[in-house]
């Protein structure tokens, strides 16, 4: 009797628990298999390369770009029409390009029916009122003129909506574009720069689709990062290939996905050179066979080809810094073919990459006038969720600070306006790929990152900049804070107006 009772007391719950564990693992294996493009692509569609938008010029000599946000339908998957959003078209945006010293005027017209949004220039050094964060709301039918002088080194920046609480949705529907900044270095160095030929943007995004072709936010059970698509689009192209005609080709990789981290490399194991990170060229090319990008991060890579060559750009399993099981729940083990690259039988010989690209004198960490600590966990930063009316940090305009960032889970820390250097990770010098200027950094749980942050001289005590997690649903759920730049601490306001508080938004 006693044995039977023990069996019932211990056996039944044990069987139930084992059943749940097996169910979760089975579901993940099923979902994981669905999320693996390996072998399933035939590379049958030519890669779409978004056109460069030619600027007009106004009486003040500004480069004028007119952008219209609009809804439409796009054939993202063969034979299916997907309702999407785009800029000057139904999906994604033309590429914007300007040089250091240019004054730009960008008229952003909101042609979306009944939807307010914003357009944020990610990585741009500019006044807070022009930043396009959640405070610069553009209501349907309105046009927002953003104007500033380009004042930073050559880089691959990007732009996307940033409305309070609905960034994931607006980005996922397709409002994403690349903004290329040139400077004297990028124009004179012997690096590939013929747009669309040997200098090619690759906006990588994962999507999932319903049977009727509409976009679906696919959520594997227990994934904590947000939607993880099972189809990869590159510049909106599914199953893409690209033909190259030169021995060296530069790809500007942007992870424009809501939650997924990619570890890019080639299936034949070939190495390549990373020449730039988020905020511009590295001092020297870094030779590697993998570059990992979390949402919002960019890297420019230069890949070498021989005549008739074929190479497959692939995403291998990513390292989120979590334990084995949690990584799998978050899709870190998913692998994808990204793009097939086909080299012509005759290739134009490119100049070899220079050993040095740019040189800079890193600011001395001793110049930092303040050290601030940020802990990302739950849906908050330092225990506080985003409040549009609260000023979280007051920073002296033109100063340099050290921001110490740590996290309970995998997050990506992005600071508007600035570029920063990673001083150290857990007290150790950063790996070479984190050695350049950045605006976003992937954080691994339990580690501490010290960032040396330079703040531009745009004092405006009434307009905040954001700092936040760039995993979009984390941002939407409140993992974001605000800082203002001031000349004098006394200028700091206690609260800010809430642009969503007039009843037009819900």
Tokens 């199953």 map to which residue? 239
- The piece of 58-66, 179-187, 469-477, 489-497 that touches Cu ion (CB under 5 A) is 469-477
- 474 interacts with Cu ion by CB under 5 A: yes
Nearer to Cu ion, 105 or 471 (CB): 471
**Residue 137: how many other CB atoms lie within 10 Å:** 21
Q: State the minimum distance, in angstroms, from the CB of residue 469 to Cu ion.
A: 3
- 414 interacts with Cu ion by CB under 5 A: no
Q: What part of residues 5-44 is at the interface with Cu ion (CB under 5 A)? A: none
Nearer to Cu ion, 177 or 227 (CB): 227
DSSP string, 367-409: G--EEEEEEEETTEETTB---TTB--EEEETT-EEEEEEEESS
Give yes or no for a contact between 209 and 216, defined as CB atoms under 8 angstroms apart: yes
Sign (positive or negative) of CA dihedral 163, 164, 167, 173: negative
Residue of 164, 411, 419, 468 interacting with Cu ion (CB under 5 A): 411
- 260 interacts with Cu ion by CB under 5 A: no
Cα separation, 55 vs 137, in Å, equals 24
- 469 interacts with Cu ion by CB under 5 A: yes
Cα separation, 9 vs 274, in Å, equals 59
Q: What part of residues 366-385 is at the interface with Cu ion (CB under 5 A)? A: none
Q: State the minimum distance, in angstroms, from the CB of residue 477 to Cu ion.
A: 9
Q: State the minimum distance, in angstroms, from the CB of residue 90 to Cu ion.
A: 30
- 472 interacts with Cu ion by CB under 5 A: no
Distance of CA 164 to the CA centre of its chain: 17
Buried b / exposed e over 160-172, threshold 16 CB at 10 Å, is bbbbbebbbbbbb
Nearer to Cu ion, 312 or 377 (CB): 377
Q: State the minimum distance, in angstroms, from the CB of residue 351 to Cu ion.
A: 41
Cα separation, 234 vs 254, in Å, equals 10
The contact mask relative to Cu ion for 170-209 (x = CB under 5 A, - = no) is: ----------------------------------------
- 471 interacts with Cu ion by CB under 5 A: yes
The contact mask relative to Cu ion for 293-332 (x = CB under 5 A, - = no) is: ----------------------------------------
Q: What part of residues 101-120 is at the interface with Cu ion (CB under 5 A)? A: none
Nearer to Cu ion, 408 or 501 (CB): 408
Nearer to Cu ion, 63 or 468 (CB): 468
Nearer to Cu ion, 55 or 226 (CB): 226
Nearer to Cu ion, 411 or 454 (CB): 411
- The piece of 21-29, 292-300, 344-352, 405-413 that touches Cu ion (CB under 5 A) is 405-413
- 135 interacts with Cu ion by CB under 5 A: no
| Intra-chain end-to-end CA distance of the chain, in Å | 63
Give yes or no for a contact between 97 and 201, defined as CB atoms under 8 angstroms apart: no
Q: State the minimum distance, in angstroms, from the CB of residue 220 to Cu ion.
A: 17
Cα separation, 380 vs 409, in Å, equals 12
Nearer to Cu ion, 139 or 219 (CB): 219
Could you give the strand order of the β-sheet that contains 240-246, starting from the edge strand earlier in sequence? 45-46, 240-246, 336-348, 310-316, 262-266, 291-293
Nearer to Cu ion, 67 or 471 (CB): 471
Nearer to Cu ion, 232 or 471 (CB): 471
Query: Which tokens is 480 given?
Result: 């974001």
- The piece of 176-184, 187-195, 428-436, 461-469 that touches Cu ion (CB under 5 A) is 461-469
| HEC readout, 443-479 | ECCCCEEEEEEECCCCCCCCCCEEEEECCHHHHHCCC
How many residues of this chain interact with Cu ion, rule: CB under 5 A?
4
How many CA atoms lie within 13 Å of 327's alpha carbon, on the beta-carbon side?
15
Give yes or no for a contact between 104 and 187, defined as CB atoms under 8 angstroms apart: no
- The piece of 58-66, 244-252, 389-397, 464-472 that touches Cu ion (CB under 5 A) is 464-472
Cα separation, 215 vs 16, in Å, equals 36
Q: State the minimum distance, in angstroms, from the CB of residue 441 to Cu ion.
A: 12
- The piece of 289-297, 304-312, 403-411, 414-422 that touches Cu ion (CB under 5 A) is 403-411
- The piece of 4-12, 28-36, 318-326, 408-416 that touches Cu ion (CB under 5 A) is 408-416
Cα separation, 271 vs 304, in Å, equals 9
Cα separation, 466 vs 477, in Å, equals 14
Give yes or no for a contact between 298 and 281, defined as CB atoms under 8 angstroms apart: no
Q: Measure Cα distances from 203 to 39, 47, 406, 408, 472 in Å.
A: 22, 11, 28, 29, 16
Residues lying near Cu ion in the complex (CB under 5 A) are found at: 411, 469, 471, 474
């Amino acid at each position: 009797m006693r044995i039977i009772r023990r069996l019932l007391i211990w056996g039944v719950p044990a069987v139930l628990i084992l059943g749940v564990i097996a169910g979760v693992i089975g579901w993940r294996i099923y979902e994981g298999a669905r999320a693996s493009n390996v072998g399933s692509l035939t590379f049958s569609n030519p890669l779409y390369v978004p056109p460069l938008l030619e600027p007009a010029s106004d009486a003040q000599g500004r480069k004028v770009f007119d952008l219209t946000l609009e809804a439409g339908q796009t054939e993202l998957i063969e034979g299916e029409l997907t309702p999407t959003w785009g800029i000057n078209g139904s999906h994604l945006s033309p590429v914007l390009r300007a040089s250091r010293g240019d004054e730009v005027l960008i008229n952003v017209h909101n042609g979306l029916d009944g939807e307010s949004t914003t357009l944020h220039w990610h990585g741009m050094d500019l006044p807070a009122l022009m930043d396009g964060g959640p405070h610069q709301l553009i209501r349907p039918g309105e046009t927002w003129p953003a104007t500033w002088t380009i004042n930073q080194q050559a880089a691959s920046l990007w732009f996307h909506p940033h409305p309070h609480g609905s960034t994931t949705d607006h980005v996922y529907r397709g409002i994403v574009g690349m903004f290329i900044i040139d400077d004297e270095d990028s124009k004179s160095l012997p690096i590939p720069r013929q747009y669309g030929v040997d200098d090619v943007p690759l906006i990588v995004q994962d999507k999932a689709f319903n049977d009727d072709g509409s976009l679906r936010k696919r959520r594997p059970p227990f994934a904590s990062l947000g939607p993880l698509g099972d189809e990869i689009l590159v510049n909106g192209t599914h199953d893409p290939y690209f033909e190259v005609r030169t021995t060296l080709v530069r790809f500007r990789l942007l992870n424009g996905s809501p939650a997924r981290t990619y570890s890019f490399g080639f299936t034949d194991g070939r190495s390549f050179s990373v020449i730039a990170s988020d905020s511009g060229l590295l001092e020297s090319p870094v030779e590697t066979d993998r570059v990992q990008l979390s949402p919002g991060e960019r890297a420019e890579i230069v890949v070498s080809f021989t005549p008739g060559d074929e190479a497959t750009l692939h995403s291998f399993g990513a390292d989120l810094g979590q334990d084995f099981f949690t990584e799998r729940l978050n899709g870190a083990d998913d692998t994808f073919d990204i793009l097939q690259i086909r080299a012509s039988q005759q290739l134009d010989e490119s100049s070899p990459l220079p050993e040095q690209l740019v040189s800079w004198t890193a600011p001395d960490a001793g110049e930092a006038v303040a050290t601030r600590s940020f802990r990302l966990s739950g849906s908050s930063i330092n225990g506080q969720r985003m409040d549009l009316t609260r000023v979280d940090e007051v920073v002296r305009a033109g100063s340099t600070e050290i921001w110490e960032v740590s996290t309970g889970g995998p997050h990506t820390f992005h600071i508007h306006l600035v570029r920063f250097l990673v001083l150290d990770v857990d007290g150790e010098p950063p790996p070479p790929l984190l050695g350049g200027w950045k605006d976003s950094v992937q954080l691994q749980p339990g580690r501490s990152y010290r960032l040396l942050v330079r703040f531009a001289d745009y004092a405006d005590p009434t307009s905040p900049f954001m700092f936040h997690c760039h995993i979009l649903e984390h941002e939407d759920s409140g993992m974001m804070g605000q800082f203002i730049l001031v000349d004098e601490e006394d200028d700091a306001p206690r609260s800010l107006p809430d642009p969503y508080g007039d009843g037009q938004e819900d």
